[in-house]
Amino acid sequence: MDLNLSKSEGDYLKAIYTLTLDQDTTNTMALADFLNVRPPSITSMLIKLANQEPALVDYQKHQGVNLTEAGKRLALRLLRRHRLLELFLVNILNYQWEDVHTEADELEHVISEKFENQIAKLMDDPKFDPHGDPIPDRDLNLPTTNFIPLAELDEQAEAIIRRVQVSKSELLRHLSAQGICPGARLKLRSRNPFDQTLQLLVGEKNQSYAIGPELSNLIFVEML
Ligand SMILES: [Zn+2]
């Protein structure tokens, strides 16, 4: 099956998928915010996706929007490609993790299914991309994990960072300079009970790092 989608249609499907991971539906405002697009353009794209055969989204004006089964499969296919490409760029082409997101966004629309399968095989059907995002397998199943948000870790607990759910390049560059990346160990030294800032000790060198709640909810860890 080839992905007969424009880049912007694909961006919408991935955005709706992400925004409905822990809730039943999303809406035009949330999508406008996520995609940085004005609400009227969102509405016309949603109508377009709803009118495809088969329909890719369930959408009624002033109601929530959600992916149909067909839309969800396409979103997962795109995420598989995107994440395989990110890992390929880092592992094989020596890219830095902060530079792969935009590159993969372009490439996911031009590679063939054969190319996708070849890079998956070359990398032994990997389960996670360089940011720790799960890669759907060939049947579009996601690996199960027991990661928790760093924000929920107990004081004095030690953990391994497994996922950094950030796509902004500058922020990723900053985090890796502080040793914050998948595979790194950390210890939670203390939590400020008023603003939830965490004081961490990171890596072999126990580098101190303070992190606020906005970011500590985007970083996922496995407890040791
Ligand atoms: Zn990624």
CATH number at residue 168: 2.30.30.90
Q: What is the pTM of this model?
A: 0.90
Predicted local confidence at residue 1, as pLDDT: 44
Among 71, 88, 117, identify where a domain stops: 71
Predicted local confidence at residue 4, as pLDDT: 78
Among 29, 52, 71, identify where a domain stops: 71
Q: Tens digit of pLDDT for each residue in 139-195?
A: 999 999 999 999 999 999 999 999 999 988 999 999 999 999 999 999 999 999 999
CA–centroid distance, residue 170 to ligand 1 (Å)? 15
CA–centroid distance, residue 86 to ligand 1 (Å)? 6
Predicted local confidence at residue 167, as pLDDT: 85
| Residue 97 forms part of a structural domain | no
| Residue 46 forms part of a structural domain | yes
Mean pLDDT of 6-16: 93
Centre a 10 Å sphere on the Cβ of residue 201 and count the other Cβ atoms it contains: 16
CA–centroid distance, residue 164 to ligand 1 (Å)? 8
Dmax (CA) of the chain: 56
Q: Determine phi and psi for 190, rounding to 5 degrees.
A: -160, 160
Among 39, 71, 103, identify where a domain stops: 71
CATH of the domain at 35: 1.10.10.10
CA–centroid distance, residue 113 to ligand 1 (Å)? 20
Give residue 5's pLDDT band: very low, low, confident or very high (50, 70, 90).
confident
| Residue 122 forms part of a structural domain | no
Predicted local confidence at residue 2, as pLDDT: 56
Residues 111, 93: Cα–Cα separation, whole Å: 16
| Domain that includes residue 218, residue range | 148-223
| Residue 129 forms part of a structural domain | no
Determine which helix (DSSP H) or strand (DSSP E) holds 164, and give its type and residue range.
strand 158-164
CA–centroid distance, residue 195 to ligand 1 (Å)? 29
Phi-psi map region of 196: left, alpha, beta (phi>0 left; psi -120 to 50 alpha):
left
Angle between helices 69-91 and 113-122 (to 10 degrees): 50
> Please, what is the average pLDDT of the chain?
94
Predicted local confidence at residue 60, as pLDDT: 85
For 78, 89, 106, 117, 178, the CA distances from 113, given in Å and listed in that order, are 11, 17, 15, 6, 37
| Residue 19 forms part of a structural domain | yes
For residue 201, pLDDT over 70 is answered with yes
| Residue 140 forms part of a structural domain | no
CA–centroid distance, residue 79 to ligand 1 (Å)? 9
| Residue 137 forms part of a structural domain | no
Q: Tens digit of pLDDT for each residue in 78-95?
A: 999 999 999 999 999 999
Using an 8 Å Cβ cutoff, are 75 and 61 in contact?
no
Question: Coil, strand, or helix at residue 18?
Answer: helix
CA–centroid distance, residue 44 to ligand 1 (Å)? 28
For residue 116, pLDDT over 70 is answered with yes
CA–centroid distance, residue 183 to ligand 1 (Å)? 15
User: How is 84-145 classified by DSSP, letter by letter?
Assistant: HHHHHHHHTT---GGGHHHHHHHHTTT--HHHHHHHHHHTTS-SB-TT-PBPP-TT-PPPP-
